[in-house]
């Protein structure tokens, strides 16, 4: 039900509708009243005009047609006319569809929906199905900001339960709606009454959900257990029990339940999703999430949408978001932008920081004067391996891009797409397809010439509080765009692989992280490239550890997290990554000792 952009106010649309009605042009009158209805669904004048059009047409519902691309205003208008014609059940079906399409609009906030006598004209089974339709179309639970427009349906449920106090399906459906709208005590009461009236699998499930929302875990598990006894083949209930147990710290019991489900059907989607989520929750091995992503890719027609993979990846470094960069130059920049002190004019660094960090600071704080005490070896201004893709040149310790600025189209495309978070790596890969048509020169140019952040709420936050995060977003998405470059080329000899490898082994920079993330993402979405990617990641992290024995590596921790996100990584590299993150590796200890020696030497040099 595509919705047109409202160009006129409801009053203006009504005026045009009345004018068309006076001229006998009922089609145009209907079009204007539906537009008014979208903007003011409960305005009495809109409903009065709708009734006049209905009377003039002799009840011609085809003035408000339904179809594959029905306009939501026409759907709602038709619903009201059906109710007025004595067919309220059909009208409620259409209102429920409209509420599912746009739950924030008050489609049902009209007298006929909340009239106490309405349920007497409806079959209770039909009312229950309508309430279930609402439940299926809205989030669980419904966000507070969306609850008020749905409360008329809860009033309908109250009235229906009053008229039909012992109907089990109606009581269960009413409970499900009440629970979604935050009326937990009422949900428990209705669901319990429904089960007492007639115990059914569905009724016990509704009761279990209500108890769970009320924090009554023991009673919730008992109700769900009774549901399993009534229908041992409904494996979705097994998954619900497992999820409830896991949420309450009973992970071993949860896994026992999910194993029982998988023993019955190893491909049942709810059980598979829950199993991988719980195994990841237990041991943190990303292999469980990769296996889940593989299952999702190989089973696109699951019974319903699942959020387990996104839930596990949310807020985790590189699995669900860009890791923020650190370092003295960025700390000084953030303090200046946050108003925590005077604008910095001079900053002395113990060691050289990544070129992207230096460029970001100089762009955001042009008056900042940075002095680097020393450039420790191995020289961070040199690529770690020979490359034909040199992005930076140095004048002393000052970096400058070697590439021209990208095209305006490339800059605008990345501004629309770049974001610091994504549901999971395959979702990031899919989203980056919007960069597939950009030229290679543009994608590389974006890495060293990031455009300004967009004039959105997120863009303003990033540019005003942490410009470094926006730069990192651009670099990450540009490298994801490289994954879509010339995808017809076989991976081993492809341009995309070659360029990403050169970036990974180039000058130590945020671009190294972005390119490695792109390579890791390729391994998530294409199992055939996993051995190659795991080998590259292992080599790059080993090199980081070797360099870290001589000096600090600012990107070391981030690369370690990237390693842990890599499919099929060998155990030794995984162990090294964990050591780098916790700071317990010999490399980290050597780095701390080197920094201590620097501080002591500086003290003895003072007069």
Beta strands 392-395 and 398-401 are antiparallel
What pLDDT shows up at residue 300? 84
Alpha-carbon distance of 504 to 537, in angstroms, equals 9
Angle between helices 88-101 and 72-84 (to 10 degrees): 160
Asked if 177 and 131 count as a contact pair (C-beta separation under 8 A), the reply is: yes
Residue-wise burial string across 104-137, b where 16 or more C-beta atoms lie within 10 A, e elsewhere: ebebbbbebbbbeebbeebebebbbbbbbbbbee
Report the largest interatomic distance among the alpha carbons of the chain, rounded to a whole angstrom: 101
Long-range contacts of 21-25 (CB under 8 A, 24+ apart): 21/49, 21/52, 21/53, 21/56, 24/56
Count CB-CB contacts under 10 A for residue 145.
9
Asked if 79 and 46 count as a contact pair (C-beta separation under 8 A), the reply is: no
Residue-wise burial string across 222-258, b where 16 or more C-beta atoms lie within 10 A, e elsewhere: ebbebbbebeeebbbbbbbbbbbbbebebbebbbebb
Q: Which helix (H) or strand (E) holds 392?
A: strand 392-395
Asked if 516 and 537 count as a contact pair (C-beta separation under 8 A), the reply is: yes
What 3-state class would DSSP assign to 349?
strand
Burial class (CB in 10 A: 0-12, 13-18, 19+), 372: middle
Encoding tokens for residue 389?
Answer: 């893709």
CA neighbor of 421 nearest in space, from 469, 484, 466: 469
Listed as ranges, residues in the chain with pLDDT below 50 are 1-7, 585-597, 599-607
| Residue 72 neighbours by CB under 8 Å, 6+ apart | 1, 3, 38, 98, 101, 102
CA neighbor of 199 nearest in space, from 161, 220, 230: 230
pLDDT tens profile 215-226: 999 999 999 999
Alpha-carbon distance of 398 to 384, in angstroms, equals 19
Angle between helices 26-39 and 44-57 (to 10 degrees): 160
Q: Please state the pTM of the whole predicted model.
A: 0.83
């Amino acid at each position: 039900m595509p919705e047109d952009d409202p160009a006129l106010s409801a009053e203006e649309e009504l005026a045009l509708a009345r004018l068309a009605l006076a001229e006998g042009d009922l089609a145009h009158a209907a079009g204007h009243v539906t537009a008014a209805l979208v903007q003011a669904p409960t305005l009495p004048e809109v409903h009065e005009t709708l009734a006049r059009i209905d009377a003039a047409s002799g009840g011609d519902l085809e003035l408000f047609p339904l179809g594959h691309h029905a306009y939501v205003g026409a759907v709602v208008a038709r619903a009201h006319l059906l109710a007025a014609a004595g067919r309220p059940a059909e009208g409620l079906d259409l209102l429920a569809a409209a509420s599912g399409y746009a739950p924030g609009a008050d489609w049902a906030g009209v007298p006929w929906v909340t009239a106490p006598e309405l349920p007497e004209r409806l079959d209770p089974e039909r009312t229950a199905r309508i309430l279930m339709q609402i439940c299926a179309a809205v989030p669980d639970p419904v966000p507070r900001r969306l609850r008020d427009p749905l409360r008329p349906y809860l009033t309908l449920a109250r009235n229906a339960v009053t008229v039909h106090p012992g109907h089990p399906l109606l009581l269960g459906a009413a409970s499900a709606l009440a629970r979604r709208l935050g009326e937990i005590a009422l949900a428990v009461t209705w669901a319990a009454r429904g089960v007492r009236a007639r115990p059914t699998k569905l009724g016990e499930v509704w009761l279990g959900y209500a108890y769970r929302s009320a924090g009554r875990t023991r009673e919730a598990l008992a109700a769900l257990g009774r549901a399993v006894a009534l229908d041992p083949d409904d494996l979705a209930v097994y998954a619900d029990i497992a999820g409830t147990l896991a949420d309450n710290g009973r992970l071993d019991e949860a896994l026992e339940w999910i194993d029982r489900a998988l023993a019955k059907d190893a491909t049942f989607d709810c059980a598979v999703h829950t199993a991988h989520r719980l195994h990841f929750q237990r041991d943190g091995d990303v292999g469980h999430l990769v296996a889940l992503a593989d299952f999702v890719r190989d089973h696109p027609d699951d019974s319903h949408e699942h959020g387990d993979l996104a839930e596990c990846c949310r807020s985790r470094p590189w699995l669900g978001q860009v890791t923020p960069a650190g370092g003295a130059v960025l700390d000084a920049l953030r303090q200046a932008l946050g108003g925590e002190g005077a604008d910095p004019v001079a900053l002395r660094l113990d060691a050289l920081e990544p070129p992207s960090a230096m460029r970001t600071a100089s762009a955001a704080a042009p008056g900042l004067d940075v002095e680097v005490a020393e450039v420790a070896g191995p020289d961070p201004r040199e690529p770690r391996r020979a490359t034909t893709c040199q992005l930076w040149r140095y004048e002393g310790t000052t970096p400058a891009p070697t590439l021209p600025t990208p095209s305006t189209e490339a800059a605008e495309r990345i501004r629309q797409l770049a974001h610091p978070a994504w549901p999971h790596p395959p979702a990031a890969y899919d989203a980056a397809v919007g960069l597939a048509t950009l030229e290679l020169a543009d994608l590389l140019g974006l890495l060293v010439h990031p455009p300004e952040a967009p004039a959105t709420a997120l863009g303003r936050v990033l540019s005003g509080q942490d410009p470094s995060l926006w730069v990192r977003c651009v670099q990450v998405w540009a490298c994801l765009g490289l994954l879509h470059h010339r995808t017809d080329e076989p991976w081993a000899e492809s341009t995309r692989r070659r360029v990403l490898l050169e970036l990974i082994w180039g000058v130590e920079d945020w671009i190294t992280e972005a390119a490695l993330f792109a390579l890791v993402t390729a391994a998530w979405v294409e199992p055939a490239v996993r051995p190659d990617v795991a080998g590259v990641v292992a080599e790059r992290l080993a090199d980081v550890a070797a360099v870290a024995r001589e000096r600090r590596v600012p990107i070391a921790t981030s690369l370690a997290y990237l390693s842990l996100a890599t499919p099929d990584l060998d155990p030794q590299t995984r162990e090294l990554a964990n050591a780098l993150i916790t700071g317990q590796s010999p490399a980290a200890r050597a780095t701390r000792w080197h920094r201590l020696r620097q501080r002591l030497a500086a003290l003895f040099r003072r007069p």
